[in-house]
Amino acid sequence: MSTFSVADIPDMTGKTVIVTGASSGIGLATARALAGAGARVVFAVRNIEKGKAAAAITTGVTEVRELDLASLDSVRAFAAGWDGGIELLINNAGVGGPELSRTADGFEMQFGTNHLGHFALTNLLLEHITGRVVTVASQAERSGRIDFDDLNWERKPYRSFGAYAQSKLANLLFTAELQRRLNAAGSGVRATAAHPGFVATNIYNHAGRRPSGLSAIMIRLLAQDADMGALPTLYAAVVDIPGNSFAGPRHFAHMRGAPQLIGRSATAQDANLAHRLWAVSEQLTGTRYPLQPVPERI
């Protein structure tokens, strides 16, 4: 597909979609687009009041449920309260920040929220999912390294961007291994990933402070709005593309423009690394992949 816009989303009437982090930014734009196409959209959000305010400006069928991806107890509670089918799980929520902070379970906040929270949520909901799991990653993955000796930055000096890049590389490795497991189970569910490009959202605001100096100028001059930033996610959710695809903007080093399939680093394509990360993530979260592989024919 040479171009893609919200108008290309098929009729989603009767289908249920979960969007994490749907109270603002790309998540809200994604939720509004899918609700506008007829889907029942569940805003899975940490702050219920913000979620309700976002749902109130969304046309269509919406529901707001509490989900704090920085707490495995909250993730388990959300999944335990779920009943019914899910057409799309959009793993959109993400955090950044210059200072080291930790989740309720003691994980480094960016790795714990961006990867482990979504990893646990997906595994706990997977038996309900009939369509796709779309995880919002980033080209920051190209700078990422999975440091199995210190995943939670307990010994080495903390580098915020390094932690963010590790979490985004983990998103792509998770998508690849999830698709491999879905294939082995004979499942028709697809796992895809999306990179929104350079988008002016709240992820650049830290501790209530807006970007300043060169960062503020770059955002003002180069960043897309949230509606454009949501298009790669929507593309990965509804266009007929293979499992383990990665969608992102087509222009300006994949930072602006309409979505298309894009490449990823060699590290993000390392099957052994993906398998190892999956095993470690199961141990850290206490969750397991729920589907059984199809037995080989004799």
Q: Closest Cα partner for 136 from 248, 55, 32?
A: 248
Q: Give dist(CA 243, CA 34) in Å, integer.
A: 20
Cα pseudo-dihedral 56, 95, 288, 175, rounded to 10: 90
Task: At 228, list the tokens.
Answer: 């454009």
Q: Give dist(CA 41, CA 86) in Å, integer.
A: 10
Q: Give dist(CA 5, CA 85) in Å, integer.
A: 26
Is 259 within 8 Å of 230 (Cβ atoms)? no
Bridge partners (DSSP) of residue 20 are: 44
HEC letters along 32-51: HHHHHCCCEEEEEECCHHHH
Residue type, 154: E
Task: At 130, list the tokens.
Answer: 């009939």
Q: Give dist(CA 255, CA 128) in Å, integer.
A: 33
Q: Give dist(CA 271, CA 174) in Å, integer.
A: 10
Count other Cβ atoms within 10 Å, centred on residue 128.
16
Report the catalytic residues: 164
Task: At 198, list the tokens.
Answer: 């350079």
Bridge partners (DSSP) of residue 44 are: 20, 65
Q: Give dist(CA 45, CA 132) in Å, integer.
A: 20
Q: Give dist(CA 267, CA 223) in Å, integer.
A: 27
